[in-house]
Amino acid sequence: MNFFAEQDHARRNTKWLVLLFVIAVIILIGLSNILIAACLWMFESTSPLDLPDNRSFFSADILVFVSLVMTSIIIFAIAFKWFQLKDGGRRIAESLGGQRILPNSQNPEQQQILNVVEEMALASGMPVPSVYLLKDEIGINAFAAGHTPADAVIGITQGALEQLNRDQLQGVVAHEFSHILNGDMRLNVRLIALLSGIVFVANLGEFLLHTQRYSGSSSSRTKSNDVRVAAAGIGLLALGWIGMFFANMIKAAISRQREYLADASAVQFTRNPEGIADALKIIGGYDAGSGLRTPLSQEASHMFIGDARRLGSFFATHPAIKSRIKRILPRWDGALIKRDIKKVAKPIYSKTSQQKANQHRQEQLKKTVFVAAAAEAAIDALENKSEKAEFSLSENTVTVSGELAHLPDGLLSLAHDPCGVISVVYALLLSDEEAQRNKQLDDIKDNLSKSSRIDETLKAWQWIVSVDKSYRLPLLELSFPALKCMSAKQHQRFMDNLRSLIKADQQVDMYEWCLYHLVKHYLSHQFEKVERSRPIFSSIPEIAEPFSVVLSSLAYFGHGEDKDIQRAFGIGANSIGLYTISLLPKEQCQVEHFGPAVKKLANAYPQIKQRILRALVACVCLDKQLTVLENEMIRCIAAVMDCPGPQISLGVRRP
């Protein structure tokens, strides 16, 4: 599956969404004018509006006035909802009643879902998202929310943790990762904001009726006014119901086919159709189904893997469960899996002590066989197999699972600890030279929250230097959920310390730049006001200048001989169709030039980003080897561009 093409498809869906929304607004404005005219006709003698002499209830003045008022109400509601959702997935999950599962949670059920999410994230080439638990929901459901992969979260109900085994959870999580990677997640957030505008009219009508219910005035004039206000409230409520009709229709039109696509992606990711199919069978045979009790599930119903609200088939945001299962398993006999509601949560490993459960988590994490199909999906999006740049795979392929298998248990535990994780990141920046390392620690010791942090950082550094440098990147990606548990003050101090560690030697190398910007990119959405990249460049020539800087930098960092540098640059330039650009001088390809160029490329359209990454992969893989730094640069570029990171299966050449 080409996720870049799916992102473009999701973007086109946004255009249809806007068109449907505009049509719905026009109809609501027309009905509002009819409602106002009816009210004026009923209460002609006491109308507060200054009617024209001809007493026309459909005059241009009234039409313009009502249209402006309705448009203003809708725009205000959309702007308010968008402001609420600006923090991305975290805000949506919390509004639905979700609570963040700490990365070092001791609950076996929570450990299992964290483990599954980690596997899928690293396999699909993106950092590990935070996981939120809807602990008061007994229905089986899950969702992915956020604007970009940087602020994405995975949400899951308590019922799903209680009723699904590991394979079924993996299918559900793979389904949600598809929504992240193919652009549905961003579309779903926009859908919530836009539709809140036309649904808000119903809320306004309910408010007017509520105020009249508790009105205690008894004068005849006041009662007359109360009747008018109540009539207006009923009218607005009726308009709101019509708005909800259009909202449900729009959600159904946009979401249904995307659910089929996500189910197919889950099978492709896991290579186990039984996982997602059995999860759907359990939802279909479960007493509580996939329904949610939170009232806010109505506006977010299209984000879940199953129907959060039971509506008629015409308005359902999801295809029928049986239809979805039949597409996954064409020979399915139609039998569902019956499950009873568990009144009390029963741990999956009920006979395992907490100590053994922790040991089980570490073993599972280290022995993970990451999903090959997810890597294939990323590679298929990058490689054009009709081109000449095809690469043979080395027997010494370095996979993420192989990297994690060599990480010490203590280091993995520290990376999952919200208190200790910052020591891991600090350790990743410490110099191999003792004098320089001591200077780095001296520069940050006054800005540490605990005096013991220096010893903890040194211990983490000793663990890190005991394994190969290629393990640095997956370790950092595993650390992000714990890093997101910091407070805003802790984050500011943390970023100050990172800058101090990097600048201790008065220079910034490419590895330091990549690490710092990966951390900044994935944490800033939670702690800072950031300007998201917007698709501006829709053609290859528009990105020629920044692309030549990035491609030249990769050619220099990945190859030593002049002829190899020139050949690598040429292959990358030709594969994207830029035949006239030339290799830049090395002094124009330093970190201070590389960074701004990558940020410009982030403003390309998804299909252009696909071609950019494909060209960069062709450049670094000229010698059919991949250095650790090349891999880190490619992954950092993909992250800043908000793209799935490519899993390049080539032998790693140690620098």
CA distance 600 to 329: 44
Task: For residue 121, give the nearest of 99, 103, 108 by alpha carbon.
Answer: 103
Q: Tell me if residue 411 falls in helix, strand or coil.
A: helix
DSSP state of 581: -
Distances (CA, A) of 342 to 110, 136, 141, 427, 510: 17, 12, 15, 45, 53
Q: Which residue has tokens 């019956």? A: 338
Task: At 533, give phi and psi (nearest 5°).
Answer: -65, 145
108-123 helix and 372-382 helix, angle to the nearest 10 degrees: 30
CA distance 183 to 22: 22
Q: Supply the residues annotated as catalytic.
A: 176
Q: Which two tokens stand for residue 620?
A: 């670094």
Distances (CA, A) of 462 to 298, 377, 410, 427, 469: 51, 36, 11, 8, 13
Task: Count other C-beta atoms under 10 Å from residue 91's C-beta.
Answer: 18
Task: Count other C-beta atoms under 10 Å from residue 450's C-beta.
Answer: 10
CA distance 44 to 54: 12
Q: Which two tokens stand for residue 472?
A: 């640095």
Q: Which DSSP helix (H) or strand (E) runs through 509?
A: none
Task: For residue 118, give the nearest of 367, 488, 385 by alpha carbon.
Answer: 367
| Beta bridge pairs of residue 653 | 627
Q: Which DSSP helix (H) or strand (E) runs through 11?
A: helix 3-42
Question: With contact defined as beta carbons under 8 Å apart, do 239 and 199 qualify?
Answer: no
Q: Which two tokens stand for residue 467?
A: 């394994």
CA distance 92 to 98: 9
Distances (CA, A) of 207 to 81, 210, 237, 302: 18, 5, 9, 26
Buried b (16+ CB within 10 A) or exposed e, 22-61: eebbebbbebbbebbbebbeebeeebeeeeeeeeebeeee
What DSSP string describes 145-179? Answer: E-SSGGG-EEEEEHHHHHH--HHHHHHHHHHHHHH
Strand ranges for 247-326 from DSSP E: none
Q: Tell me if residue 286 falls in helix, strand or coil.
A: strand
Task: At 499, give phi and psi (nearest 5°).
Answer: -65, -40
Question: With contact defined as beta carbons under 8 Å apart, do 162 and 137 qualify?
Answer: no
- Exposure on the CB side of residue 329, measured as CA atoms within 13 A: 19
DSSP state of 466: T
